[in-house]
Structure 1
Amino acid sequence: MLFAIIMAGGSGTRFWPKSRRNRPKQLLNLHGDSTMLQQTVARIAPLVPAERILIITGADQAEATRAQLPQLPASNVIAEPCPRDTAPCVGLAAEIVAARDPRGSMIVMPADHVIGPEAVFLKTVKAAVAVIDAAPSSLVTFGVKPTRPETGYGYIQRGELIETRDGVAVHRVVQFREKPDRDTAEQFLASGSFAWNAGIFLWRAATILQEIRRHKPLLGAALDRVGAAWGTEAGPDVLAAEFPEMERTPIDKAVMEKAADVKVLEVVYDWNDVGDWRSLRPLLPADADGNALQGDVIARDTKNSIIISDDGGLIATIGLDDVVIVQSGGATLVARRDQLDKLKAVVESLNERGHGSYL
């Protein structure tokens, strides 16, 4: 059986002030008529029923997550005791899936991507399932064809073409590369052999657990102790004791860069990871001056900007270009778009400046 694992953690910094610690971006309605988490669940629902969709989130976000997804069993929203990055997250989910179905497969997805058309995404998932059914020891990752020399994404170098399933190309993975500088990103784009690492994976639960044990034995042993106690009275206490001691590491570094049988599907759907306010602009309707406006906003002689009034107050601008202004939850952000990389540091300084209530 196929299970869906949706990683829905986050600290709520990149879309501050609209996002907060207990309301990260996946719980917000940033694009469309529902939240990003709800869109992610709806996207996979034609292939995976509600009882096999698991949400891994933070303890302070679990209640809000359950409220947004009443169609899921409450126990399918699993709260991590603390953030430990994606390898412990994936391993915990794999232990739960393997207990339910020792031969179960799982697609792992972040909760904050915009993907379309849905039919093309589902075709890609079906192709990945077919790859795993034919080769259960394989690990499959989804790679997005680059459209620009992006320095904010990791990359996957494609090797030989192994097969094509329903029009979806399956390649051997040569290597994973970290976020490059501009010159290197341009070289990746020009070569035609690199894909953006979308952070979407598909594999057998038993296979990924075996790979974690092989490459990260201490992590594997801790996950096995959690898995053995899961569903018993001791389960919550074992998770609370073991999880904070697990190595904080991403699944890419822990397993994917080391495993022998890794394949990449070259996806052809549209993909946006909605990393910060800049990535949201192409998804919102723009006026004649290239502005994305929400709420009560008057923009005069203002161009290429994102201006959002989320509190019901009026925002009026004159003579601005390439800025982000967001008024939400009693706080206001005003920034040049090219300076948004500094937003995380600003948010992290709020508590020490006596503004912890805005976190």
Structure 2
Amino acid sequence: MLHAVIMAGGSGTRFWPASRTLRPKQLLTLHGKRSMIQSTIDRLGDLVPPSRQMIVTNKVLVDAIAEQLPALPKQNIVGEPCKRDTAPCVGLAAALVNHQDSDGIMAVMPSDHVIASHEAFQNALAIGEKLIKEDPTRIVTFGIPPEYPAESFGYIERGEPIGSGGDANIYKVKQFREKPDRATAEAYVASGSFYWNAGIFLWKASTILDALQKNAPEIYKHIEAIAARIGEADYAETLEREFAAIKGKSIDYAVMETYKNVVVIEADFPWDDVGSWQALSRLHEPDALGNAVVGTHVNIDSKDCIVHASEGHTIVTIDLDDMIVVQTADATLVAPKDAEERVREVVKALQDRGLNELL
């Protein structure tokens, strides 16, 4: 059966001050009327029922996620004892799925993307499931045709086309590429053979566990120890001890960059990874002066700004150009748009000053 695993352990520091430790980006409503994680569940539709949906997150977020997703069985919200990147997250989820369904296929996805067409997304997952049933050792990923030479995304270089999948364009993966510099990104886009890496994968639970055993044995030995105690009285204690002992690594480094049998489906759904405040310019139609606004904004000759006000608050800007202005009940961010990556530094600065109530 098909299982959906949603990775929701990120902290979303680039969305401070709206994103906080106990209310990170995936719990915020940045587009539409539902939070990011609610929208991720919504787009699964009837393809995967709640009984086969799993959230893997930081243990401190379990209750907040359960509150937002009341239809999801509480035991399907898995709290990691500590942050250890995506390979241990995937390994833990695969062990749990494999225990429940030894023939299970996992669709693994982030919790904080915007995908406009639910139908197209579900069709893509169904095609991926079919590809895995044809070859259970196969790993399937999704490539987004690049709209511009992005430096903030990883890329997938496609190889030879393969012949299954109906109307979908499906290719062998030639190589995964890390986030490039501007010139390299421009060359990727110009070549026509690269996709943005959406970070969405399908595989059999047993296949990814075998791949971790072969390619990341130091991670796998701890996952194996956890798996051996699932359903036993000492499971929680084992999870706490063994997961904390893992040296974190991304699933891309641990498996994807070396695994040989990977195919990429060219995605035909609109996609945005909502990585920073600048995403609001793509998700909300700018006004006549290029300002992307959420909330109440009174503008006097400001242009190309991003403005986000909390409910009941009004932001007034005068003669601002290319700025980010974000207001919450207890903090306000004002920064040039081209300095958005430095928003991460705010968290450390607040920690250094002991302002933990703002984290």
Counterpart in the other structure of 2:178: 178
Counterpart in the other structure of 1:30: 30
Counterpart in the other structure of 1:74: 74
Counterpart in the other structure of 2:286: 286
Counterpart in the other structure of 1:39: 39
Deviations along 1:163-209, whole A, 9 cap, x unmatched? 24131111111111110011100110011111111100000000000
* CA–CA distance in structure 2, aligned partners of residues 356 and 118 of structure 1: 39
* CA–CA distance in structure 1, aligned partners of residues 176 and 295 of structure 2: 42
Counterpart in the other structure of 1:122: 122
TM-score of the aligned structures, taking structure 1 as reference length: 0.98
Deviations along 1:67-119, whole A, 9 cap, x unmatched? 10000100000000001000000000000000011000000000000012111
Aligned-partner SS, 1:259 = coil
Name structure 1 gaps, 5 residues minimum.
none
Counterpart in the other structure of 2:329: 329
What's the CA shift for 1:320? 0.8
What's the CA shift for 1:9? 1.1
Native 8 Å contact 1:17 1:329 kept in 2? no
1:244 is aligned to 2:265: no
* CA–CA distance in structure 2, aligned partners of residues 56 and 348 of structure 1: 25
Instruction: Write the mapping of 1:266-285 to structure 2, written as runs, cut at 5 A.
Output: 266-285=266-285
* CA–CA distance in structure 1, aligned partners of residues 12 and 350 of structure 2: 13
Native 8 Å contact 1:12 1:22 kept in 2? no
* CA–CA distance in structure 2, aligned partners of residues 294 and 197 of structure 1: 28
Counterpart in the other structure of 1:202: 202
Native 8 Å contact 1:311 1:330 kept in 2? no
Native 8 Å contact 1:311 1:327 kept in 2? no
* CA–CA distance in structure 2, aligned partners of residues 6 and 99 of structure 1: 18
Counterpart in the other structure of 1:160: 160
Native 8 Å contact 2:131 2:164 kept in 1? no
Aligned residues, how many?
A: 359
Native 8 Å contact 2:116 2:269 kept in 1? yes
* CA–CA distance in structure 2, aligned partners of residues 151 and 164 of structure 1: 32
Please report the RMSD computed on the Cα atoms of aligned residues, expressed in angstroms.
1.0
Native 8 Å contact 1:5 1:106 kept in 2? yes
Native 8 Å contact 2:280 2:292 kept in 1? no
* CA–CA distance in structure 2, aligned partners of residues 347 and 170 of structure 1: 41
* CA–CA distance in structure 1, aligned partners of residues 308 and 117 of structure 2: 27
1:138 is aligned to 2:138: yes
1:356 is aligned to 2:339: no
* CA–CA distance in structure 1, aligned partners of residues 283 and 296 of structure 2: 19
Instruction: Write the mapping of 1:306-321 to structure 2, written as runs, cut at 5 A.
Output: 306-310=306-310, 312-321=312-321
What's the CA shift for 1:311? 5.6
Native 8 Å contact 2:45 2:118 kept in 1? no
Counterpart in the other structure of 2:219: 219
What letter is aligned with 1:244?
Answer: A
Counterpart in the other structure of 1:88: 88
What's the CA shift for 1:38? 0.3
Counterpart in the other structure of 2:18: 18
Counterpart in the other structure of 2:53: 53
What's the CA shift for 1:307? 1.1
What letter is aligned with 2:265?
Answer: L
Native 8 Å contact 1:2 1:107 kept in 2? yes
| Further displaced range: 281-290 or 93-102 | 281-290
Native 8 Å contact 1:37 1:112 kept in 2? yes
* CA–CA distance in structure 1, aligned partners of residues 355 and 12 of structure 2: 15
* CA–CA distance in structure 1, aligned partners of residues 310 and 180 of structure 2: 35
Native 8 Å contact 1:94 1:209 kept in 2? yes
Counterpart in the other structure of 1:303: 303
Aligned-partner SS, 1:188 = helix
TM-score of the aligned structures, taking structure 2 as reference length: 0.98
